[in-house]
Structure 1
Amino acid sequence: MILQMTTARIQNYIGLVIFAALVMVVIGVGSFMKAGALERQADASVLVQKDLYFRDLPDGSVGVISANNGEVIAQVTGQAGFVRGILRAMARERRIRQITSDEAFLLISHSDGRLTLVDPATQNRIDLESFGKDNAAEFAAFLNSPR
């Protein structure tokens, strides 16, 4: 009767075996995956790219200036919440890192329909289509400018 097992003891052993099996599954799956690593999707080819400066103008609007020729290609007036919000975020990152605003931003249209704003000074990028077509269209208008 020394080897007699109670129901509670049998349940404990079954629970221990199930727990050990789950641990082995988790370890096995974890070894095949890069846990916590985000893999960046390769960029599609570039259709159009413009190097742009965004400058505050005396009238309170934001001037969109071509880095190639210094011409104002657009003015962002009024609230223009999305454009101003994106530009504030990019400018804030430059201020935090104490980087001047001398380097132009890159606005890139890709062949897969993505529209990206890149700050070469900080290596930050924002995929604008992630915020919806209407918001991305506000930036796409800068690419379509004839200047």
Structure 2
Amino acid sequence: MGSVSHLGYFGERRGKRTNTFPKGVLLGAVALLVFAAGAIVFGQTTGIGVIKHRAGVPVAIRDVTITRTADDSVMVKDARNGVLIAAYEKDTGGFVRGSLRAFERMRMVAKVSETAPYRIIKWEAGTVSLSDTATGERIYLEAFGKDNAAAFEVLLGQRRGASQ
């Protein structure tokens, strides 16, 4: 019995070049990486092309507890005095309910108390953020649209000043 090179395929390949990766594609990828790194360094050193989020100082703050009841209603209460601010029955309060689900998941992963309050902050620039006092996570709600941010801004009520 002959060697493997006599089985046909390898015998036909003898003397032929192997397939190589196209050099143009490789050089293009390297050039793209160098350009991207250069653009990042340029932007960080000069500030040109960099977008920074400047919220300013808080103009209204309210700590709230958001809980889900057995019938899947969501209750929003003032954390300081326990007064009911809003109640969302099943299939209502879509964005508030969805945000609660996201924060519940973060709390579960971080293994922190589910009863810790959330902090709603309206900033000087007009943006609204929702913070989790237990995990330290904060989301700026305008990223989800003005109507969704307004759903939380309503929960601030007439509260003014950073001490409230």
Question: In 1, Cα distance between the equivalents of 2:38 and 2:70?
Answer: 62
- 1:51-130 pair list within 5 angstroms: 51-79=63-91, 80-130=93-143
Matched-pair contact (CA < 8 Å) for 2:63–2:80: yes
Question: In 2, Cα distance between the equivalents of 1:29 and 1:66?
Answer: 47
Closer/same/farther in 2, CA of residues 93 and 39 from structure 1, 3 Å limit: farther
Deviation at 1:33, TM superposition (A): 4.5
Unpaired runs of 5+ residues, structure 1, are 1-14
Letter of the structure 2 residue corresponding to residue 131 of structure 1: F
Unpaired runs of 5+ residues, structure 2, are 1-23, 45-49, 160-164
Deviation at 1:57, TM superposition (A): 2.7
**How many percent identity over aligned positions?**
35
The superposition leaves residues 52-99 of structure 1 with CA deviations (integer Å, 9 ceiling, x where unpaired) of 000123443111010111111111223222111111001100001111
Match of 1:44 among 56, 75, 97: 56
Q: How many residues align?
A: 124
- Structure 2 equivalent of residue 8 of structure 1: none
Structure whose alpha-carbon radius of gyration is higher: 2
Normalising to structure 1: TM-score of the pair? 0.70
Closer/same/farther in 2, CA of residues 49 and 31 from structure 1, 3 Å limit: closer
Letter of the structure 2 residue corresponding to residue 46 of structure 1: P
